[in-house]
Amino acid sequence: MGQTVFIPRELDANEPRVAASPDTVKRLAALGFDVVVEAGAGAASRIPDEEFAKAGAAIGKAGDVSRADVVLKVRRPSDAELKVYRPGTAVIAIMDPYGNDAGVAALARAGATAFSMEFMPRITRAQSMDVLSSQANLAGYQAVIDAAAEYDRALPMMMTAAGTVPAAKAFIMGVGVAGLQAIATARRLGAVVTATDVRPAAKEQVASLGAKFLAVEDEEFKAAETAGGYAKEMSKEYQAKQAALTAEHIAKQDIVITTALIPGRPAPKLVSAAMVASMKPGSVIVDLAVERGGNVEGAVPGQVVTTANGVKIVGHLNVPGRVAASASLLYARNLYAFLETLVDKATKTLAINRDDELVKATMLTDAGKVVHPAFVRAEQEPPKGQHVEPPAIPAKTMVAEASAKPAAKRPAASRKPKTTGGIA
């Protein structure tokens, strides 16, 4: 009997995604694993138990995790879930460790060998494992669909015998993976699209999609990108000039989509209340960073807020999960691609090489300890009764900031989060 991979049903009510698909179940079985999927795990992603069973999985119950060698999840397991895990279990998921030291420490106490998929390095070898890009791509798409649903007019220009319907004007703030997909989707729907980002390379990317780039293109802007494709923090003077240009532009827009996130930090404020007040009634703003504090003043997580001047601010939670059927298929392939690198092809067993660059970059806990250099402190808790958990950064969407293109290799031990123009 081979080693067991267990795919549980996600317990969070806001999480419809699942960490496997019928395709990856077949692939996991070919690697030599026995695959057990908890009953109902894929229901919210339109994958019935029968499809998993046809692919070769056994349909089990939550308690079956106790015999698993590998657990594939979407979200970090809760304390209650970890109580059933046996020590040494490899857990692969989006761990969302920033601001959640207690959760990281719980993984260590459970003896889990935990891998945080959002730390996957942006190198060519790991492109197929990049959960940030796969999920942010869908978030960018869905942001435009949500905006179109709230906007009570047509997006494309329509010339009819009865008159002309003008094209909607859409402004994308942040040109990472989500921003680029938002541009492409808005263009397909016929909107006139502009976009902004602090990375000079983004200008060419925006133009390639048929949109117009908006930025203060001075000497500081030209030197705003690192060798790895990440944005440098801009001076207060530049930020003021860019804000003035943006404010003037936003007042003329019908749809604004913001995507700016910084790993481990609250989202930067890009759209002020004054900017919102300057927009026309019926305009729509979609804030993809709402779960980390939001880019838009007045955005509320999980709500669509209508301002006094008739502007709708959309703050949906877990935007990739709003297209769960597609998001799960891509996420499952990301997990499979990574797990495959941890398997000895000769013996068809799990054989984690702790010297591998992917393992070093993503391993969060191992052998009862927090091992990722950026989070070692998470296991050093004060005596019982004295522990005060740091303020958590809410993160249900769990997509973080990263360059839109594969970047040069980053040191896995980097403590300081890097800034980029848009989600993933």
- Cα separation, 310 vs 280, in Å, equals 7
Label each residue of the chain as H, E or C. CCCEEEECCCCCCCCCCCCCCHHHHHHHHHCCCEEEEECCCCHHHCCCHHHHHHCCCEEECHHHHHHCCEEEEEECCCHHHHCCCCCCCEEEEECCCCCCHHHHHHHHHCCCEEEEHHHCCCCHHHHHHCHHHHHHHHHHHHHHHHHHHHCCCCCCCEEECCEEECCCEEEEECCCHHHHHHHHHHHHCCCEEEEECCCCHHHHHHHHCCCEECCCCCHHHHCCECCCCCECCCCHHHHHHHHHHHHHHHCCCCEEEECCCCCCCCCCCCECHHHHHHCCCCCEEEECCHHHCCCECCCCCCCEEECCCCCEEECCCCCHHHHHHHHHHHHHHHHHHHHHHCEECCCCEECCCCCCHHHHHHEEEECCEECCCCCHHHHCCCCCCCCCCCCCCCCCCCCCECCCCCCCCCCCCCCCCCECCCEC
The residue assigned the tokens 């010339």 is: 159
Q: Which of 34, 130, 146, 254 is catalytic?
A: 130
127 is catalytic: yes
Task: Report the alpha-carbon angle 65-374-395, nearest 5.
Answer: 60
130 is catalytic: yes
| Contact indicator for 102, 389 with CB cutoff of 8 Å | yes
230 is catalytic: yes
Which token pair is 151? 């906007």
Q: Which of 151, 230, 331, 336 is catalytic?
A: 230
Q: Which of 27, 75, 122, 333 is catalytic?
A: 122
Q: Which of 45, 133, 142, 403 is catalytic?
A: 133
Enzyme catalytic residues: 122, 127, 130, 133, 230
